[in-house]
Amino acid sequence: MNGVVFDGEVVYPSKIVCIAKNYVEHINEFDGKAPSEIALFIKPNSSISDDVKKPAMGLCHYEGEITFVIRDGKLAGVGFGLDLTLRDIQKKLRDEGLPWEKAKAFDGSAVFSDFVSFDGDIMKLGIEFFINGELRQKGDVSLMINKPQEILDDAKRFFTFVDNDLLMTGTPKGVGSFNVGDEFLGRILYGNSVIVEKSWVVK
């Protein structure tokens, strides 16, 4: 099992539950079609990696996301997550009406910072993502179509969450491709303060 660090301890999520199309401006970057209801997909534990690796299978996009650790069925901790997406494969599968796990759930497609306990005002949480010092993505909970608790409540209708499972809450505008050697920096903000920060060099 692959693990993540929560409050200094390695924990092992059984799965990652993710929402698609949760920021209006990100939707407009692509087909502009908002889903009629919360659209969820799952990444398996095997998708978790400590490193960012550029896949050889096709065009890959980064998607930075505010991510939560779930404990006792509640939002217990927060961290920065990267949902790596094989965009051309996703488009082909989607156009054919086929499932797109190959594009979203491949090995190494989920990369995370450390997580820290959180019981503050979720509306004050924000995200920043930089590549080579350039700000590429910035957003906050106020811009989400569905807020984190709404996503969790809906997901629990279909999936059982065990302790340390993760919830990814969607990506703001600014997704794009990247190269080997790029320097990534992801941040979670609480108001104007950085509460989580992690950097990677793409392999």
Across residues 96-118, what is the average pLDDT?
A: 95
DSSP per-residue string spanning the chain:
---EEETTEEE--SEEEEEES-BHHHHHHTT----SS-EEEEEEGGGEESS----SSS-EEE-EEEEEEEETTEEEEEEEEEE-EEHHHHHHHHHTT---HHHHSSTT-EEE--BEE--S-GGGEEEEEEETTEEEEEEEGGGBSS-HHHHHHHHHTT-PPPTTEEEE----S--EE--TTPEEEEEEEETTEEEEEEEEE--
pLDDT band, residue 121 (cuts 50/70/90): very high
pLDDT reported for residue 29: 67
- The predicted-structure confidence for 58-93, as pLDDT tens digits, reads as follows 899 999 999 999 999 999 999 999 999 999 888 888
Give the integer Cα–Cα distance in Å for 41 and 122.
22
Range of the domain at 99: 4-201
pLDDT reported for residue 90: 84
Residue 173 has pLDDT above 70, yes or no: yes
pLDDT reported for residue 34: 72
Across residues 143-150, what is the average pLDDT?
A: 96
pLDDT reported for residue 95: 86
What is the CATH number for 89?
A: 3.90.850.10
pLDDT reported for residue 27: 64
CB-based contact 80:112 (threshold 8 Å): yes
pLDDT band, residue 26 (cuts 50/70/90): low
**The two structure tokens encoding residue 62:** 């980064």
Split into its structural domains, the chain has a count of: 1
Which comes out higher in pLDDT, residue 116 or 99? 116
At 179, the amino acid letter reads N
- The predicted-structure confidence for 31-60, as pLDDT tens digits, reads as follows 667 777 899 999 999 999 999 999 999 899
CB-based contact 78:115 (threshold 8 Å): yes
pTM for the whole structure: 0.95
Place of tokens 């010092």: 133
CB-based contact 113:103 (threshold 8 Å): no
pLDDT band, residue 170 (cuts 50/70/90): very high
Residue 25 has pLDDT above 90, yes or no: no
